[in-house]
Amino acid sequence: MVERENLHLNFSFLGEIDENQTVDISRKIDLIGTKLKRFEVEVGGLLPIPSENYIRVLALDVIDNTGRMTSLFEEIKRSVGGDSKPPHITLCRVKSIQSKNDVREKIRDENTGHGRFILESVQLIKSELNRSGPTYSVIHDAKFV
């Protein structure tokens, strides 16, 4: 499970990057941040990634009622790159499931909204996986205007 303080909205997975790439990516997300104002994001139901038949991650879906998040996602994908997934909030990584049918049913039952929050920056986050789970640290924070 991802600890509450480590929950974050994912736009792109960059994999291993070196120091030069970190500087370049930070500059790019700063440029993105200067074009945006804070906006509200709605959190939807459970989202199995990559699919209900092969669950490796359980996440919360993020609903884009205004189109602003889609624009941000497209800009990050175009400018920064990486393995772009639809925006989501990772809850946990899944190693194995004993009853896939029970999990699929729970996912369908939990398909209601889980609240809202204000998106006010884009961050470059380092994720280090270890036995006890991921450790996250913010490398760069590009605040919206």
**In this structure, what token pair is assigned to residue 47?**
């989202």
Torsion on CA atoms 72, 125, 39, 4, rounded to nearest 10: 140
Q: Annotated catalytic residue: which of 7, 8, 39, 123?
A: 8
Q: Which one, of 32, 57, 43, lies nearest residue 121 by Cα?
A: 32
**Pick from 27, 22, 29: nearest CA to 139:** 22
How far from each other are the two terminal CA atoms of the chain, in whole angstroms?
Answer: 33
8 catalytic? Reply is: yes
Query: Length of the chain in residues, anyone?
Result: 145
Residue from 11, 88, 119, 124 carrying the catalytic annotation: 88
Residues with catalytic function: 8, 88
